[in-house]
Structure 1
Amino acid sequence: MSAWYYAKDGQQHGPVSTDEIVRLFGTGSISPGDLVWREGMVDWKPAGEVPELAPAHPAHEETPASLTPAAAVSGSAPDAFNPYRPPTASWNEPQSTLPEAGEIVPGSQPLDIGFCISRAWDLTKRHFGMLIAVGLIYGALSAGFGVLTELPIILQEAGTSDHQIYTPSAAMKGYIFVANCVSHIFDIFLGLGLTRIGLNLVSEKPAEIGMLFGEGRKLVTGVLAAILYYSMVALGLILLIFPGIYLALRFGQYQAAIVDKDLGVMDSLKYSARITQGNLLSLFGLAIVSMLIVLAGVLALLVGLFAALPIVYLASYVSYRWLQYGRASIPGHR
Structure 2
Amino acid sequence: MEPVTKPDPAPDELDYYAPPRGESGPSGPGRDVEADVVPFDLGCIVAATWSVFKRRLWPSVGIAWTAYILVLAFGQVQSLVTGRLSPADRPTYYFVYFAFFFGGSVFSTWISLGQNLAFLAIARGEEAPNDRLFQGWPFVLTSLLAGLVLVGLMAGVALIVLAPAALLAEVAGRSILPVVLGGVVAMVAIAYVALRTWQFAYFIVDRNLGVMDSLRASWWATGRGPGTVLLLYLTVFAANLAGLLCFVVGLIFSIPFTTLLLAVGYLSLTGQPLRPLEAGPDSPAE
Same fold flag (TM > 0.5) = yes
Change (3 A) 1:103 1:114: closer
Query: After superposition, where does 1:208-247 map in structure 2 within 5 Å?
Result: 208-233=129-154, 236=157, 240-247=186-193
Give deviations 1:242-290, integer Å, cap 9, x for gaps. Answer: 1111111111100000111111111111111111113111110111122
Change (3 A) 1:326 1:205: closer
Query: In structure 1, what is the equivalent of residue 83 of structure 2?
Result: 154
Shift of 1:115: 1.5
CA–CA distance in structure 2, aligned partners of residues 268 and 114 of structure 1:
27
Shift of 1:167: 5.9
Larger helix fraction of residues:
2
Change (3 A) 1:328 1:299: closer
Cα contact 1:257–1:268 (8 A) shared by 2: yes
CA–CA distance in structure 2, aligned partners of residues 285 and 237 of structure 1:
24
Cα contact 1:111–1:319 (8 A) shared by 2: yes
Query: In structure 2, what is the equivalent of residue 138 of structure 1?
Result: 67
Specify every segment of 5 or more residues in structure 1 that has no aligned partner in the other structure, as ranges.
16-97, 158-165
CA–CA distance in structure 1, aligned partners of residues 285 and 10 of structure 2:
20
Query: In structure 2, what is the equivalent of residue 332 of structure 1?
Result: 285
Matched, 1:103 2:19: yes
Change (3 A) 1:269 1:12: farther
Query: After superposition, where does 1:5-44 map in structure 2 within 5 Å?
Result: 13-15=11-13
Query: In structure 1, what is the equivalent of residue 108 of structure 2?
Result: 187
Q: Which of the residues 293, 313, 327 maps onto 2:239?
A: 293
Any runs of at least 4 consecutive aligned residues in structure 1 with deviations exceeding 4 A, and if so which? 2-8, 11-14, 234-239, 326-330
Cα contact 2:53–2:257 (8 A) shared by 1: yes
Shift of 1:326: 7.6
Query: In structure 2, what is the equivalent of residue 283 of structure 1?
Result: 229
CA–CA distance in structure 2, aligned partners of residues 200 and 194 of structure 1:
10
Change (3 A) 1:102 1:153: closer
Greater CA radius of gyration, 1 or 2? 1
- Opposite residue 261 of structure 2, the aligned amino acid is A
Cα contact 2:45–2:261 (8 A) shared by 1: yes
Matched, 1:320 2:266: yes
Larger strand fraction of residues:
1
Greater RCO, 1 or 2 (C-alpha within 8 Å, sep 6+): 2
The percent identity for this pair of structures is 23
SS in 1 for 2:85: helix
Cα contact 2:199–2:266 (8 A) shared by 1: yes
Give deviations 1:118-143, integer Å, cap 9, x for gaps. Answer: 22222222222112221232122112
Count residues in correspondence: 237
Give deviations 1:67-105, integer Å, cap 9, x for gaps. Answer: xxxxxxxxxxxxxxxxxxxxxxxxxxxxxxx84386369
SS in 1 for 2:223: coil
CA RMSD of aligned residues (A): 3.1
- Opposite residue 211 of structure 1, the aligned amino acid is R
Cα contact 1:250–1:280 (8 A) shared by 2: yes
Specify every segment of 5 or more residues in structure 2 that has no aligned partner in the other structure, as ranges.
22-37, 162-185, 276-282
Cα contact 2:119–2:129 (8 A) shared by 1: no
Change (3 A) 1:12 1:306: farther
Change (3 A) 1:218 1:207: same
TM-score (norm 2): 0.72
TM-score (norm 1): 0.63
CA–CA distance in structure 1, aligned partners of residues 263 and 113 of structure 2:
13
Q: Which of the residues 122, 132, 146 maps onto 1:201?
A: 122
- Opposite residue 104 of structure 2, the aligned amino acid is S
Cα contact 1:233–1:247 (8 A) shared by 2: yes
